[in-house]
Amino acid sequence: MLILLPPSETKRPGGRARPVELSALALPQLAPQREAVVDALVALSADEEVAARVLKLSARQRSEIADNAALRTAPTLPAIDRYTGVLFDGLDASSLDAPARRWLGAHVLIQSAPFGPVGALDEIPAYRLAAGVSLPGLPALRRVWADATTAALEESKPRFVLDLRSEAYAALGPVPGGIPSAYLRVVADAGDGATRALNHFNKHAKGDLVRLLATARPRVVNAAALCAWAGEAGLVLRPGAPGELELVV
């Protein structure tokens, strides 16, 4: 099973004095796209006024332009530790033991805007770039990443993909049609047989689910096997719309 996660706008600062190696990240065939986006983001960051406008930054967020300017030389952290926010708080990867973290490294990709999908243990610097931004000199990020990422995912041949990304980040790398997959939606039981979508708790529930998978490490080869395991683990995970699963919380 391969799990696709969204990134987070907020990130933990600092890290080890080891710059990012774009060619060493997961799905190395995406290196040309990574080089192009990183180059464009570093170049943009040379002009703070232009960068703030393009990235839609508030005055308080302008300090993050310096992170972008230093992308190629900045300290790095494993991606699963770099991102913070509600989903990553639920996952709480830093508290997991070594086998659980190795499982994350083998089964989780995080869809970033500047680097494309990165492995959970791939080391990346802090940055500021959202999925909807168009960088000067490049097409929209969706056009940069979508076809190349889909092709790279197809080449990696996962048996089953569980997609936990937001729709904006899923658009940066659609799952190939020939690979069995399910898009996860988190819903609440409204009490009358209907369900309603969640926002804040949606993210935390996704983090909780990935944490439970990393600690239990079940063998999941399709959606039915995932739902069966979830039931044994006390979760309500069921088929929803075609191609989707619903996690009821």
Q: What is the 3-state secondary structure (H, E, C) of the chain?
A: CEEEECCCCCECCCCECCCCCHHHCCCHHHHHHHHHHHHHHHHHCCCHHHHHHHHCCCHHHCCHHHHHHCCCCCCEEEHHHHECCHHHHHHCHHHCCHHHHHHHHHHEEEEECCCEEEECCCEECCCCCCCCCCCCCCCCHHHHHHHHHHHHHHHHCCCCEEECCCHHHHCCCCCCCCCCEEEEEEEEECCCCCEEECCHHHHHHHHHHHHHHHHHCCCCCCHHHHHHHHHHCCCEEEECCCCEEEEEC
Question: Residue 194 above 70 pLDDT?
Answer: no
pLDDT at res. 184: 97
Question: Residue 192 above 90 pLDDT?
Answer: no
Q: What is the pLDDT of residues 1-39, one digit of tens each?
A: 999 999 999 999 999 999 999 999 999 999 999 999 999
Q: What is the pTM of this model?
A: 0.95
Question: Residue 197 above 90 pLDDT?
Answer: no
What pLDDT band is residue 201 in, cutting at 50, 70 and 90?
Answer: confident
As a whole-number percent, the residues of the chain with pLDDT over 70 amount to: 96
